[in-house]
Amino acid sequence: MKAENLSGTNVRVTVVFPGGVSTNILSNSGLVDRLPSSAEGARKILSADKAAAMIIAGMEQNRYRVLVGKDAKMLDLLYRLNPAYAAGLIAKKMGALLF
């Protein structure tokens, strides 16, 4: 559903773009063994509590977009400057993890 369809209602939409957050997602993914030992720590940038606080603050301010963490902000900037390069970079990094 598009946010425009909710115009005139009491429903608000906030889109969250999370960066690295310290959760168990990576350890539960089965990919931990494929990463260098320092890579897992590097991906845990924000605590889950801090990320949640940023998301809640964005929602309370009726922000449409909430970028969670410095890495999310940098990736957003990269996408805006050069979408094809950003998409290729992400695909390359994800491909290295999966294969």
pLDDT above 90 for 27: no
- Bridge partner residues of 66 (DSSP): 16
* pLDDT-derived band at 54, boundaries 50, 70, 90: very high
- When comparing pLDDT for 76 and 35, which is higher? 76
Alpha helices in 34-98 (DSSP H): 37-43, 48-60, 70-81, 83-98
In this structure, how many other beta carbons lie within 10 angstroms of the beta carbon of residue 59? 14
pLDDT, averaged across the chain: 82
Using alpha carbons only, give the angle 61, 55, 28 rounded to the nearest 5 degrees: 170
Q: What is the mean pLDDT of residues 44-48?
A: 80
Domain boundaries, the chain: 12-98
For residue 68, the 8-state DSSP code is E
Residue of 24, 19, 21, 14 lying closest to 75 (CA atoms): 19
pLDDT of 17 reads: 94
Q: What is the mean pLDDT of residues 12-39?
A: 74
